[in-house]
Amino acid sequence: MTRITIAQALSQAASVLATSSESAHVDAEALLLHCLGKPRSFIYAWPERQLSDEQHKQLQQMVARRAEGVPVAHIVGEREFWSLPFIVNDSTLIPRPDTEILVETALNLPLAENAAVLDLGTGTGAIALALAHERRQWQMTAVDNVSGAVELAKANRHNLQLPQVEILQSDWFAELSGRKFQLIVSNPPYIEESDEHLALGDVRFEPRSALTSGQQGFAALFHIAEHAREYLCTGGYLLLEHGFTQGKRLREKLNELGYMQVATVRDFGSNERCTLGFWPG
């Protein structure tokens, strides 16, 4: 039996995915790399290398799942965020590149070396663990209301060797009574429940509870903004990710609630992506 080469495998996989994915070649490449267990440079340095029968079979099965719409991250079980590898599954959202601007913004704040920082709705733990990786002395706490997400975040904490991060199950602030933080960050659900895009792409395979929120997508954002005031130190900051059309209304809400120096930061695609407020106490 003639074995298929790396170049042939990549071409065939991309061809199969062409009708179902807008990123067919990128998807095919990611799946092939996972099967081979090699870095990207390998497939272009050695295009004539042959796949084993087992590798070819695995690739075909993975391509078939992707053709059905299953996210690449769920198929390979991993997604990179902030140049760190995160285990992912269907218990919570797949980390998005757009969220890296929230991490970057948080790292640029004038916080104490040992600042207490809270990540609400941590999911995979991506935000909290990325921050802890950059600021080893921060007292980092991450919470999520979904037990599967809490376990996933703990697994990522272990893999990334960041034992200093405290991970708890909590419905927003419910288990944090009496605690104060210099910074509270969150990427909460903010998509309107009737949004037509929920029927498209990778989000079909992610939990709806981690995506949508009432009040035209503002319910979780407003809840956090209102209650965060009880948990922020005087001179602390609130930093929220949101949809690209929600910045204006969220800025108005933060001002109404007494936050100061309210400002919205754009992501790498120039869309309004996260809004910051200073709590004067």
CATH assignment of 6-69? 1.10.8.10
Q: Can you give the residue ranges of every domain in the chain?
A: 6-69, 79-279
Closest among 178, 185, 168, 212 to 103, alpha carbons compared:
185
In this predicted structure, which of 5-14, 151-160, 229-238 has the lowest mean pLDDT?
5-14
- Structure-token match 């998005």, residue found: 96
Supply the Cα-derived Rg of the chain in whole angstroms. Answer: 21
Residue type (1 letter), 256: E
Higher pLDDT, 42 or 189: 42
Dist. CA 150–CA 125, nearest whole Å: 8
Give pLDDT, residue 180: 96
pLDDT tens for 233-269 read 999 999 999 988 899 999 999 999 999 999 999 988 8
Closest among 151, 95, 106, 109 to 133, alpha carbons compared:
106
pLDDT tens for 66-124 read 888 888 888 888 888 988 999 988 777 788 888 999 999 999 999 999 999 999 999 99
6-69 and 79-279, same CATH topology? no
User: Coil, strand, or helix at residue 99?
Assistant: helix
Dist. CA 189–CA 152, nearest whole Å: 18
Q: Average pLDDT in the 172-186 region? A: 95
Dist. CA 13–CA 43, nearest whole Å: 14
Closest among 70, 67, 41, 58 to 4, alpha carbons compared:
58
Q: Is 80 exceeded by the pLDDT of residue 131?
A: yes
- Pairing relation of β-strands 232-241 and 272-279? antiparallel
Dist. CA 273–CA 98, nearest whole Å: 8
Give the neighbor-by-neighbor strand order of the sheet with 166-169. Answer: 166-169, 139-144, 116-120, 181-186, 232-241, 272-279, 260-266
Give pLDDT, residue 95: 87
Classify domain 79-279 at the CATH class level. Answer: alpha beta
Tell if the pTM clears 0.75, that is, is over it.
yes
Dist. CA 121–CA 142, nearest whole Å: 7
Instruction: Specify the DSSP element, H or E, that contains 263.
Output: strand 260-266
Query: Residue 135 — pLDDT band, cuts 50, 70, 90?
Result: very high
Q: Is 70 exceeded by the pLDDT of residue 193?
A: no
User: In terms of DSSP H, where are the helices of the chain?
Assistant: 6-17, 24-36, 40-45, 53-67, 72-76, 100-107, 126-134, 147-159, 214-217, 219-228, 247-256
Q: Any idea how long the chain is?
A: 281
β-strand partners of 81 = 84
User: Tokens standing for 115?
Assistant: 């600042």
Contact 280, 258 (CB under 8 A): yes
Q: What is the mean pLDDT of the chain?
A: 87
User: Tokens standing for 213?
Assistant: 């929120």
Dist. CA 250–CA 222, nearest whole Å: 8
β-strand partners of 93 = none
Dist. CA 144–CA 153, nearest whole Å: 9
- Pairing relation of β-strands 191-192 and 212-213? parallel
Query: Residue 205 — pLDDT band, cuts 50, 70, 90?
Result: very low
Dist. CA 275–CA 223, nearest whole Å: 15
Q: Is 50 exceeded by the pLDDT of residue 20?
A: yes
